[in-house]
Amino acid sequence: MTVIVLTNCPAGLRGLLTRWLLEISAGVFIGNPSARIRDALWEEVRQYADQGRALLAHTTNTEQGFTFRTHDHAWNPIDHEGLTLIQRPKAPTPLPPAGPAKGWSNASKRRRFGRR
């Protein structure tokens, strides 16, 4: 079983994949091609994806029973003692809020206490 998920890819690439796989939802393709065809399709996806992202998942004879490949994803698959895991990028440290200083301004203090 092979599943390919495309995000923000050209329509021509989707048309290419419909020759070999069934599009069950927008950008989600599923089928059972041979390993040679699957690898050829993945190379086409990588070549024509442009600014888009792609994910390929397929069954294999491993402990997990499947493996996957990614193209232009922020999350990357890594091998950890025979298991394929997802490595997510570290979250950026938040910047301090760029707004006015907290507290009352001098003008509001004068208005509040009746001084003019």
pLDDT per position as a tens digit, 48-78 = 998 899 999 999 998 899 998 999 888 888 8
Rounded CA gap, 37 and 40, in Å? 5
Q: Which residue shows structure tokens 């495309």?
A: 6
- Helix, strand or coil for residue 49? coil
Rounded to an integer, what distance in angstroms lies between the CA atom of residue 83 and that of residue 10? Answer: 32
- pLDDT for 78-87, tens place per residue? 888 888 888 8
Q: Helices marked H in 18-101 — which ranges?
A: 35-48
Q: DSSP secondary-structure letter at 97?
A: P
Helix (H, G, I), strand (E, B) or coil at 76: strand
Nearest to residue 84, comparing CAs of 48, 57, 46, 44? 57
The candidate with the shortest Cα–Cα distance to 51, out of 67, 72, 65, is 72
Report pLDDT digits (tens) over 20-37: 999 999 999 999 999 999
